[in-house]
Amino acid sequence: MKKTKFNRVHEKLGAKLVDFAGYEMPVVYTSIIAEHKVVRESVGVFDVSHMGEVFVRGEKALDFVQSITVNDASKLFNGRVQYSAMCYPDGGIVDDLLVYKVSDTEFMLVVNASNLEKDFAWMNENNKFGVELVDESDEYSLLAVQGPNSTAVIQKLTETTVEMEYYHFIKANVAGVDMILSRTGYTGEVGYELYFKGNEQDAENVWNAVFEAGKEFDIQPTGLGARDSLRLEMGYCLYGNDIDKTTNPLEAGLGWITKLKQEGDFIAKDVLSKVKEEGVTRKLVAMITDEKRAFPRHGYEITVNGEVVGHITSGTVSPVLDKPVALGYVKKEYANEGGTVNWKIRDKEIPVSIIKLPFVKK
Amino acid sequence: MNVPENLKYTTDHEWVKVEGKTALIGVTDYAQGELGDVVFIDLDPELEQITKGESFGTIEAVKTVSDMFAPLSAKVVEVNPKLEDEPQLVNSDPYGEGWFIKIELEDESALADLLDAAAYKAQIGG
């Protein structure tokens, strides 16, 4: 199993380590619920170094990115990040990703760890523009510092002004290390993602500096368990749960990143345009209930009058709302905000409301 | 890993504490650690009988749901009323306030199949 450069730190902190996408990753340090609340109320630090970083370099870098992703990367300027997805010709999703425009001739694509190998092969297979594709995932460490106090923490570690708008990034020297400092995250909170190279000792130095700076805010290490419940409260999709090669971006509620009106072509543009025209057959919906004794989970059936009309793709009991919440695909005719469906949990059917995302309003 | 000497254990990570003619059943410290934050316990407050090897309820934790399997067949005399509002007692005090049910123990020979502390420790690699 692969280890991130923070593995020794996690061991020392007594984290519960699990195999995630081939990496030994911390799922929880003390309590998922407590770690979740730390991020909502103050600041937490996630090691997400397992994520993949692929660099696209060359004169035709933009053309390549445009052809392989569904969003319109021509709208990007240097220092701007975009959420996007890659699709197969049939419209199924290869992966969702972040596109960073570094310069006219360089983009960084940040992909899911579990998909890296497949994504990199897909990119190479579809490299009709002679761009250079370099997988630098093993060289990069990635820390996500997330929460309302994250700006104050990061600002203590650099001379550069770190306050910036969501989905922007700068190159800065933070804690003595040159890095990409990005105003992104997967939590819905103000937060930063720190991409930097170096060995284990360098990584530990950054970790220690962040925790020293965050002491006054009672900064805490936070694991993948909290990351999952935080993203679910916001309704962000997780590849492998809510989206995969059998789902298209339109039914997944990702129409807002699927720019079908852009001039250029991209893989699946024709198929997705047709889906848009004819309408989707099912939709990813957000569901919630006041019934306390229900824990929705991936794979549970969604029913209406005893008929199975869909499945839950992600679920939890929201630590902030203290209510069960879930995402799931539902046949289009039942997928209306304000409507009611049921979760089938073992022998019980629990009525739930379909609402507008996010579950937790920020 | 906390494995009290005076309890009996099952391979499903439950413990049985004999108190004269009754016994308490709960899950072990190891099990609550593996489960993580317990969100609620799905246990019939009117439960009357458990049957050896069969599920008598479920523990819903953040990452997973786990069945509770009866270590023996017995009549249930009490279901822990505190768990309804304070399921986190399973995490904070698994051998004390976090107990699930109290059963009638007619015959201690029913406990013969259960593990002692040393055997349970060996099973969890402690």
CA distance A222 to chain B (A): 14
CA distance A328 to chain B (A): 18
Chain A positions touching B36 (Cβ under 8 A) are 16, 28, 31-32, 225
Chain B positions touching A27 (Cβ under 8 A) are 63
A315: closest CA among A335, A299, A293?
A299
Torsion of CA A307, A313, A317, A318, to 10 degrees: -120
Whether the Cβ atoms of residue A234 and residue A146 lie closer than 8 Å to each other: no
- The residue extents of the domains of chain B are 8-123
For A2-47+138-232, give the CATH class.
alpha beta
Interchain pair B37, A297: CB under 8 A: no
Q: How many CA atoms, within 13 angstroms, populate the side-chain half-sphere of residue B117? A: 9
Whether the Cβ atoms of residue A87 and residue A93 lie closer than 8 Å to each other: yes
Q: How far apart are CA B34 and CA B65, in angstroms?
A: 11
Partner residue opposite B65 with nearest CB, options A16, A229, A297: A297
Q: How far apart are CA A249 and CA A94, in angstroms?
A: 10
CATH assignment of B8-123, given 2.60.40.10, 2.40.50.100, 2.170.130.10, 3.40.50.300? Answer: 2.40.50.100
Chain A positions touching B30 (Cβ under 8 A) are none
Chain B positions touching A293 (Cβ under 8 A) are 40, 42
Query: Which residues of A lie inside 8 Å of B (Cβ-Cβ)?
Result: 16, 27-28, 31-33, 225, 229, 292-293, 295, 297, 316-317, 346
Residue A347: per-residue pLDDT:
86
Strands of B65-69's sheet in order across: B38-42, B55-61, B65-69
Q: Would you tell me which residues 38-67 of chain B have a C-beta closer than 8 angstroms to some C-beta of chain A? A: 39-40, 42, 58, 60, 62-63, 65
- The residue extents of the domains of chain A are 2-47+138-232, 281-362
Interchain pair A295, B36: CB under 8 A: no
Chain B positions touching A297 (Cβ under 8 A) are 65
CA distance B46 to chain A (A): 16
> Number of residue pairs across A and B with CB atoms under 8 Å?
28
Chain B positions touching A229 (Cβ under 8 A) are 62
Interchain pair B65, A295: CB under 8 A: yes
Interchain pair A32, B63: CB under 8 A: yes
Interchain pair B62, A33: CB under 8 A: yes
Q: Crossing angle of helices A224-234/A32-41, nearest 10°?
A: 60
Residue B126: per-residue pLDDT:
66
ipTM of the assembly?
0.87
Region of residue A162 (phi > 0: left; psi between -120 and 50: alpha; otherwise: beta): alpha
Q: How far apart are CA A289 and CA A110, in angstroms?
A: 35
Condensed to tens digits (0 to 9), the pLDDT of residues B60-104 reads: 999 899 999 999 999 999 999 999 999 999 999 999 999 999 999
Using a CB–CB cutoff of 8 Å, tell me whether B112 touches chain A: no
CA distance A311 to chain B (A): 18
Chain B positions touching A316 (Cβ under 8 A) are 62
Burial of A346 per CB tally in 10 Å (0-12, 13-18, 19+): exposed
Q: Is A249 helix (H, G, I), strand (E, B) or coil?
A: coil
Q: How far apart are CA A102 and CA A35, in angstroms?
A: 33
Interchain pair B62, A292: CB under 8 A: no
Whole-structure pTM value: 0.95
Task: Answer whether CATH 2.40.30.110 is correct for domain A281-362.
Answer: yes
Task: Write out residues in chain A with pLDDT < 50, as ranges.
Answer: none
Query: Looking at chain A, which residue has its C-alpha nearest residue B32?
Result: A31
